[in-house]
Amino acid sequence: MNRGLLTVGILVSLGGLLGLLNPALLGGIAGPRELVVAIGLVALFASMLLAHARYGRNRNRSAAPDVEHRQVARVPAPETEIDAFDQPRLSYRARRRAQKQGRNAVRELAIDVLVRYDGDSRTRAKERLDSGTWSSDPQAQAFFAPDAVEMPLSERLASIRAPDDVYRHRLNRAIAALSARIERGRTDG
């Protein structure tokens, strides 16, 4: 409630109380004295209710926040492990560490795919990934072996300007190439 309204209510109630105790004070007010006293009593009662509502609360009990003002907890998505580098609050080093972990996880998956669907040994699969000969897609090759693949100047500039975007693009292309190899292996076998 408004403090001004509370102050006016207290003043009017005090005036009514004084008029009740000493009716001679009400001599300058036109109208029946009983009406003025009744208004004073109503004002006194209203100010007491207002004061009780404002100051009569139990201070030991905490009030629960309104639903509209609660903060909703963020729930990580299932692909959080791979997308951890994409969170803006992570530092540069933390994003690079997350990218390295993601690249290692996809590398292990790629080795398993090459062993199972191409018939390579694990050593041969690692060599193909390191040399970039495992796929015909240069972006997919560059995900595992960026130095082994000759990229156009525009791609090299993009990797300097926005390394996270290039990482995500190459990751998607590598996963697409591995998925295509798996699908091809399922239809052949």
Kindly report the length of the chain: 189
**72 pLDDT tier (thresholds 50, 70, 90):** low
Residue 59 has pLDDT above 70, yes or no: no
The amino acid occupying position 28 is: G
Residue 174 has pLDDT above 70, yes or no: yes
Residue 187 has pLDDT above 70, yes or no: no
**Each residue's pLDDT tens digit, 159-168:** 777 777 788 8
pTM (2 d.p.): 0.49
Cα distances from 75 to residues 78, 92, 182, in angstroms, run 9, 23, 31
Residue 44 has pLDDT above 90, yes or no: no
Residue 133 has pLDDT above 80, yes or no: yes
> Measuring CA to CA, which residue among 16, 8, 94 is closest to residue 51?
8
**Each residue's pLDDT tens digit, 103-114:** 899 999 999 999
Neighbours of 77 (CB within 10 A): 9
The residues spanned by each domain of the chain are 3-55, 80-188
Residue 82 has pLDDT above 60, yes or no: no
